[in-house]
Amino acid sequence: MSRIQMPLTPDPEILNPEAAGPGNRRQWPRYALLKRDSFTVTTDGHPGTDGTCAIEDISLGGARLRMEGPVLGGLEIRIEHPRLGHAFARRCWKAKDHLGVAFDHSEPSLAFIAGCVAEGVEIGPAEPLAEPAA
């Protein structure tokens, strides 16, 4: 797995994913995934570090993963799905059974994010256009 070039961030062990302050660096809209597909997660590119997860929410910047087993400790993450491809990410925080990851913006990762959003989000009816003011 290639090394992911990410901006310097505070220690991922001390960030609080629910904080409204410095630990919460979200800059993109998040989309909750309604389908709970299982994804394979590999850390640091080492065989034997595989796990599975469900993606609870996703954005262009990252995702919240609910791990289906032990929370993996590595920093470099590869998330795979047989139909949607794969994405490379870096762990930003970990909690009891969750990981927060920040995506690199490589072509495979962007395609993976788009596929997840397209398949996992219900799109409601378009809002009617407002009538122009007379």
Q: Residues in the chain, how many?
A: 134
How would you write the pLDDT of the chain (134 residues) with one tens digit per residue? 444 444 434 334 434 444 444 455 567 888 888 777 889 888 887 666 788 899 999 999 999 999 988 777 788 999 999 989 999 999 999 888 899 999 999 999 999 999 998 877 544 444 444 455 55
| Residue 95 maps to a domain | yes
- Of the candidates 17, 19, 69, the one whose C-alpha atom is nearest the C-alpha of residue 43 is 69
- Number of domains into which the chain is organized: 1
| Residue 84 maps to a domain | yes
Instruction: Give Dmax over CA atoms of the chain in angstroms.
Output: 67
| Residue 52 maps to a domain | yes
- Residues 37, 51 contacting (CB under 8 angstroms): no
Domain with 80, as residue range(s), is 47-104
Q: Which amino acid is at 10?
A: P
**And the tokens for 109?**
């990762």
| Residue 81 maps to a domain | yes
Global pTM? 0.68
| Residue 41 maps to a domain | no
| Residue 42 maps to a domain | no
- Residues 52, 40 contacting (CB under 8 angstroms): yes
